[in-house]
Amino acid sequence: MSALLPVRQVAKPWGRDVLPAPFIAPGGERIGEIWFEPPPELPGLLVKYIFTSEKLSVQVHPSDAQRPGEGKEECWLIVDAEPGASLGIGLRETLDAEALRAAALDGSVEQLMEWHPVRAGDFFYIPANTVHAIGPGVSLIEVQQNSDTTYRLYDYGRPREMHLDHAVEVANAAPYPASLRDRASPGETVRLVDGRFFRLDQVTGGSFAQVAGDYARSPLLVIPRDATATIADQDIAPGQCGLALSLDELALSPTGTYLLSQTL
């Protein structure tokens, strides 16, 4: 069995025809997402790269409590950002359902959102029910519950299906807690997520022992950021994602930086 997860490149009108290294967009295509197919051993965890040239829709995901089996909590690690790039996460003030609906209908929700300037290494955890959007000029790694349930609240007048009733029903139209934001520059070891659904750490090969105990009992995903990892004698390079069934088959470069994740 290969340790390397299969890759799916997804063209999007808001994607980019020039991608940050090591990615290369096929000629004439605007790549918006690169998916790593979840393995059977970790079916509930999905890893993506996202690349934007335009604002993505303002949207919200339900929780498992609201939509059993469809809940989606996710997180974003910025790997590259153009000057002025930002993410819309949460609102500047709390709105009730009627006010949120009205803001979505007249487009003022875009101005009511909190737009966070970003640079490489910024990290954001996005709980279910959070109103959010990704701005242009951003490249990020997304780790998420494996669900495709997304409710569009507003899309800047573009002719795509909206899901206003569902979005308003599940949205927490409130400010984004500062405690859910962090930094993870290459070379730094930091626990980014220790939530109800999945765990995510950034480590160097030399610091892996600090978190190894937490990954001892389950398979884990390995996402190299700047150096190759070896899983069962197979190299996993930056821009790829690999599955390690046990720590015994994983070797990391002492000075390399990696993301490690598993479901809980």
The CATH number for 195's domain is 2.60.120
CATH number of the domain at 117, please.
Answer: 2.60.120.10
| Domain range enclosing 170 | 52-183
Is 21 among the domain residues?
no
Is 17 among the domain residues?
no
119 is catalytic: no
Q: What pLDDT is recorded for position 256? A: 98
Q: What pLDDT is recorded for position 233? A: 95
Q: What pLDDT is recorded for position 181? A: 98
Q: What pLDDT is recorded for position 217? A: 86
Is 235 among the domain residues?
yes
Domain count, the chain: 2
Q: 30, 101, 152, 225: which is the annotated catalytic residue?
A: 152
Q: Which residues of the chain have pLDDT under 70?
A: none
Rounded to the nearest 5 degrees, what angle is found at the Cα of 148, between the Cα atoms of 203 and 140?
Answer: 35
Q: What pLDDT is recorded for position 218? A: 86
Is 28 among the domain residues?
no
Q: What is the DSSP string of the chain?
A: --SBPPEEEEEEEEEESS--TT--PPTT--EEEEEEPPPTTSTTEEEEEEE-SSPPPEEE---TTTSTTT---EEEEEEEE-TT-EEEEEESS---HHHHHHHHHHSTHHHHEEEEE--TTEEEEE-TTB-EEE-SSEEEEEEEES----EEEE-TT-SS---HHHHHHH-B-SPPPGGGEEE--TT--EEEEE-SSEEEEEEEGGGGGGTGGGGSSS-EEEEESSS-EEETTEEE-TT--EEESSGGGEEE-TT-EEEEEEE-
The set of residues, in sequence order, having a beta carbon less than 8 Å from that of 20 and lying 6+ positions away, is 51, 79, 80, 139
